[in-house]
Amino acid sequence: MLKFNGFQKVLAWIFLLLLAFANLYPIGIMMLSSFKSTKEIFLEPFNLPSVWRWQNYVSAWQRADFATYFKNSVLVTALSIVSIIIVSSMAAYVIARFDFKFKRGVYLYMLAGLALPTRLAIIPIFLIMRNLHLLDKLSGLVIVYTASGIAFSVFLLVNFFKNLPRDIEDSAKIDGAGPFRIYWQIDLPLLKPALVTVAMFNFIDVWNDFFFPLILLSSKAKKTVPLGLQAFFGEYTVEWDVLFAALNISVLPILIVFLILSKQFIAGLTEGALK
């Protein structure tokens, strides 16, 4: 690829580090501030906390009922991702491997979901959920997320399926394995890296989504983390110490998951998951 000489390298590093700083500074401030008192945040914004106040976290956790929000978010996210993966990979397998009438039409139809701002469909979604008595239910959210994750996931997975070698499949077919068995026992295990990419993308989307819970949920016991955070910001507007702590609490899980999977995820992304 590009080759830089010494001077160019220095210049490149300066720019890269500047961007890294711009990315990390606000997040670092958020982390530092969460250990300060409100007064310190206001009056000594650039200093380290005089005392590391872990109690900010305790009080944010207790007052905001984060335990409930986390439970709900984890449940919704996990169920959504599992259903997205199962449903989309089956569909992608069929589209990538079989020929049938209207195949191209079906694929284009699903692809169109990539090119629709899904949130605009909220009025009918809301009405459907109301008729199905799924308002203020986590299962309602899971259904919406699964449906809205399909287009993108099918699109990614069809590409991956097409790149899989067919010879193992062919020998399995000769042994009399049906389509589902081939999909389940041979193709899925080979697709693991792709599935991680799909899962990570959907994880970011679902875990962070604020819009659908805002409209579809109402009671506190059902709130997910972003929605709970919003309520918390409305209630404790002047207590910046706990607000920063709450922000950190909400960021932590995604940070951990991302750091664990970042290598695979970024590899998946840069090796052409999206084109």
- Which residues in 79-108 contact another protein (CB under 8 A)? 86-88, 90-91, 93-95, 98, 100, 106-108
Q: Do 182 and 172 form a contact (C-beta atoms < 8 A)?
A: yes
Instruction: Kindly identify the residues of this chain, within the stretch 198-227, that bind another protein according to CB under 8 A.
Output: 204, 207-211, 215, 218-220, 225-226
- What minimum distance in Å lies between the beta carbon of 2 and another protein? 4
245 binds another protein (CB under 8 A): no
Alpha helices in the chain (DSSP H): 6-33, 38-43, 55-64, 66-97, 103-111, 122-131, 138-163, 167-174, 179-181, 188-190, 192-208, 211-216, 225-235, 240-268
Q: What DSSP line would sit under 221-256, residue for residue?
A: GG--HHHHHHHHHHH-TT-HHHHHHHHHHHHHHHHH
DSSP state of 175: T
Q: Shortest distance, CB of residue 75 to another protein, whole angstroms?
A: 17
Is 72 a binding residue for another protein by CB under 8 A? The answer is no
- Give min distance, CB of 48 to another protein, in A: 14
Using the rule CB under 8 A, is 192 a contact of another protein? no
Residues numbered 130 to 189 that lie near another protein (CB under 8 A) are: 130, 133, 135-136, 143-144, 146-148, 150-151, 154-155, 158-159, 162-163, 178-180, 183
Question: Residue 94 or 194: which CB sits closer to another protein?
Answer: 94
SS3 95: helix
Nearer residue to another protein within complex by CB, 70 or 183: 183
